[in-house]
Amino acid sequence: MTATSCSDSTVRHFGFLLLDSYSMIAFANALEVLRMANLLSGQRLYAWSIATVDGEGIRASNGLRFANPGCLADLDGCDVVFVCGGVEVQKAISDAVVQDLRRRAARGQKLGGLCTGTHALAEAGVMNGYRCAVHWENLSALREACPKVHFALEVFVVDRDRVTASGGIAPLHLMLHLVRGHHGSKLAMAISEQFIIDRVRDQTDQQKLPQPEFVGPGYEHVVEATQFMAANIEEPLALSEIADATGVSLRQLERLFHRYHDVTPAQHYLALRLRRARELLAHTSAPIMQITVACGFQTASHFCKAYRAQFGHSPSDHRRQGGGQGLVHLGAAPDAGTVAGMLAAEQAAGGGAAMHLS
């Protein structure tokens, strides 16, 4: 189609602030929806500006370089400015980024975050009191570090003048949601058809955490039990309580975990707590003792022993080595003998989690 311009007052101008090692898939998915909206409508419905903090070229996490970005001032006239983050986002959040976001928030500019870009908004203090979305890998660390922000598990969240999306293709669904609000469902559906998207997700859809490829009867109880575990890390529940809450017996819950995860519920729960610790080590500067308490361990020595058994090195070694370059890996669950020893030590130290091994 031949593009014809709308009046300037009807063109919505989106800005994208790229941080070092930003996620290209998140950025491209957002931008491509705007491009396709213009193409299919035959009108200039959207314009966009792309900038970096210093106005210099920048590399995405995949190594590709964006050569000619604009500077921060180019984003001043935008209707909304999205911060695009990626791996090792903490290193990319400079004082200049924080000050710029605070300046924009103070003057009422609408702000957004794509992937870990939401981390920058939270660190700048401009998300306090808001709901927002961020990639599930970063949820635990950010909830601990920014208690005034409500980090949700939804794919994307629009809360007043804050617009955020988790990673991957979630920004595509966020932009389709915005296009639908601006120009109706017909255009949003036409864009999704061009991209061969069979379903447009909305704000009620949650991120799907990694799950086994094949599931069968009773798997919903495993999912529900895991959700109870993840929601009770600092003060672990007894496995009998979790079984009661999911409507199955403890023995049945143990059989289901063996079937789908090849571990006991106790092993899985301990692995979740250690994963939370790994996230906090990678994405926060919290002292190890604070992480010990936040992950439900009674003593730092017990925590360090469990952490070493899980990952092969101590928490302090992990932090000295750079936190695994900002990536969080669950790792293999400890074997039953290791778990039994850890839980015995925990109960001897006064732990309140009455777990049971099969």
List residues bridging with 14 in a β-sheet: 48, 80
CATH superfamily of 8-194: Class I glutamine amidotransferase (GATase) domain (3.40.50.880)
Span between the terminal Cα atoms of the chain, in Å: 65
Going from N- to C-terminal start, the domains of the chain cover 8-194, 219-348
Q: How many Å apart are CA 246 and CA 16, to the nearest integer?
A: 44
In this structure, of 184-188, 198-202, 289-293, the range with the lowest mean pLDDT score is 198-202
The tens digit of pLDDT for each residue in 90-99 reads 888 899 999 9
Instruction: Quick: pLDDT tens for 12-41.
Output: 999 999 999 999 999 999 999 999 999 999
Please report the pLDDT score of residue 185 as a whole number.
85
- Say if CB 87 and CB 19 are below 8 A apart: no
Q: Where are the alpha helices (DSSP H) in the chain?
A: 24-41, 89-92, 95-106, 117-123, 136-145, 170-183, 185-194, 219-231, 239-246, 250-261, 265-283, 288-294, 300-311, 315-320, 336-348
Q: Which of 64, 73, 94 is nearest to 15 (CA)?
A: 73
H/E stretch holding 110 reads strand 110-114
Q: In what order do the strands lie in the sheet with 110-114?
A: 46-51, 12-18, 80-84, 110-114, 162-165, 156-159
Q: Give percent above pLDDT 70 in the chain.
A: 84
The CA radius of gyration of the chain, in Å to the nearest whole number, is 23
Question: What average pLDDT does range 139-168 have in this prediction?
Answer: 87
Say how many C-beta atoms besides its own lie within 10 A of residue 272's C-beta. Answer: 21
pLDDT-based confidence at 348, cuts 50/70/90?
very low
Distance, in Å, from the CA atom of 43 to the CA atom of 39, rounded to the nearest integer, reads 7
Comparing 73-87, 149-163, 195-209, which segment has the lowest mean pLDDT? 195-209
Residue for token pair 């050569």: 67
Q: Could you give the CA distance from residue 328 to residue 312 in angstroms, rounded to a whole number?
A: 15
Structure tokens at 343: 């839980």
Record the tokens describing residue 134, joined without a space. Answer: 């961020």
| Residue pointed to by tokens 């919290």 | 286
Name the CATH code of domain 219-348 (choices 3.30.420.10, 1.10.150.130, 3.90.1150.200, 1.10.10.60): 1.10.10.60
Q: In terms of pLDDT, which residue wins out, 348 or 236?
A: 236
Task: Provide CB contacts within 8 A for 353, sequence distance 6+.
Answer: 236, 237, 238, 269, 296, 343, 346
